[in-house]
Amino acid sequence: MPPVSRKGIVEGALFFAVGMAGMAEALRLSRLPAGLQQTLAPGYYIAGLSALLLVIGLVHMALAGGSSAAQPGGVRPGRMLAMVAVLVAYVAAIPIVGYTAASLAFFIAAFRFFGVAAWSRSILLGLVYTAAFHVVFVVYCEVIFPRPMVTLF
């Protein structure tokens, strides 16, 4: 019996799950009254796409049964997860402490993460980059960021 690829099963199941969610939404929409002159009733287009995803998910799972069970090697998601955690903290901090303060903290953390060894250098670079971003986006491009919930001044 050929080895079963767990990765393939998970990927196929993901597509199947998205297809199911699409079908549920299509069913909800199809219960709504169609508008005048509307041949393609609400939900039909979504139902078509979702059906395709369900089939693709099932076929992918079926093919995974006959494929190699080898998993991609050499992948260490630790660094990626740490970077994502820094980004999540940055995005979460923007509405709380404001764009500029959150950016300063983010840049310092990002420089440390990407390999700037000295804290003093990371802080200096963070200050320079934050000032540059503030001038370009807040002052020049007039991007309006959310008002911070917590302010020092």
Looking at the Cβ atoms of 35 and 153, the one nearer to another protein is 35
Residue 38 binds another protein, judged by CB under 8 A: yes
> Which residue in the block uniquely carries the two structure tokens 């917590």?
150
Work out whether 73 is an interface residue with another protein (CB under 8 A).
no
Q: Is the separation of the CB atoms in 53 and 20 below 8 Å? A: no
**1 is written with which tokens?**
């019996």
Find the binder of another protein among 65, 90, 100, 124 (CB under 8 A). Answer: 90
CB atoms within 10 A of CB 111: 20
| Listed residue (76, 77, 78, 108) closest to 90, CA to CA | 108
By CB under 8 A, residue 151 contacts another protein: no
By CB under 8 A, is residue 5 in contact with another protein?
A: no
Q: Which of 2, 3, 66, 146 binds another protein (CB under 8 A)?
A: 146
Measured between alpha carbons, how far is 127 from 113 in angstroms, rounded to an integer?
A: 16
> Among 9, 20, 94, 124, which residue sits at the site for another protein (rule: CB under 8 A)?
94
Per-residue DSSP letter, 32 = S
Q: Using CB atoms within 10 Å of the CB of residue 136, give its burial: 0 to 12 exposed, 13 to 18 middle, 19+ buried.
A: exposed
C-alpha distance from residue 79 to each of 1, 17, 72, 89 (Å): 37, 29, 17, 15
56 contributes a contact to another protein by CB under 8 A: yes
Query: Can you give the binding site for another protein, defined by CB under 8 A?
Result: 7, 11, 15, 18, 22, 25, 29, 32, 34-35, 37-40, 42, 45-46, 49-50, 52-53, 56-57, 59-60, 63, 72, 75-77, 79-80, 83-84, 87-88, 90-91, 94-95, 103, 106-107, 110-111, 113-116, 125, 129, 133, 137, 141-146
